[in-house]
Amino acid sequence: MDERSTCQVEAQLNFLKKETQNYTSRCATEAKKLAEDVEIETHNVDIVEREVADVQETSKLKFQETIKQNEEEIQICAWEHYALVDSVFELRRAHGIKNFRDEEQPFRNSRSSIRFLQRLLVSAVWYHFGYKPLTQ
């Protein structure tokens, strides 16, 4: 080979070497950028996971508090129901109603039935709250 051919081959080799270095450098830069992006996204995921855990814990506490409040309300309603039923029995006793046959008497016609039920309910409510029962 002559010197001119050798110079051309060396120039091509230097060019390819430089291109390879540039390509390698670009790939390294891109890999570094991708690694930084992954690190940022990992950090963001960690933040979101912590927020989700906080919301979950808060929701759990609110749920438990709601259950507790509902149980308390159920107890109150149960006692009120018991007291109202007791008041109805007391009212029945006060009106001399001893059995279901006695109770059927006022229900012979529908108008008097409605009036009787209305008076009985009003009396039961008043009696429940400590007022004197209304008379028939």
Looking at the predicted structure, is the pLDDT value of residue 12 above 50?
A: yes
CB contact set of 111 (below 8 Å; sequence gap of 6+): none
Residue pair 102/92 in contact (Cβ under 8 Å)? The answer is no
Which DSSP state fits 107? G
For residue 51, being part of any structural domain is answered with yes
For residue 133, being part of any structural domain is answered with no
Residues 30-59 have pLDDT tens digits of 999 999 999 999 999 999 999 999 999 999
What is the length of the chain? 136
For residue 77, being part of any structural domain is answered with yes
Could you tell me the residue range of the domain that residue 24 belongs to? 3-128
For residue 9, being part of any structural domain is answered with yes
For residue 72, being part of any structural domain is answered with yes
Residue pair 124/80 in contact (Cβ under 8 Å)? The answer is no
What local confidence, expressed as pLDDT, does residue 117 receive?
A: 61
Predicted TM-score of the model (pTM): 0.45
What local confidence, expressed as pLDDT, does residue 69 receive?
A: 86
What local confidence, expressed as pLDDT, does residue 107 receive?
A: 46
For residue 114, being part of any structural domain is answered with yes
For residue 69, being part of any structural domain is answered with yes
Q: How many domains does the chain fold into? A: 1
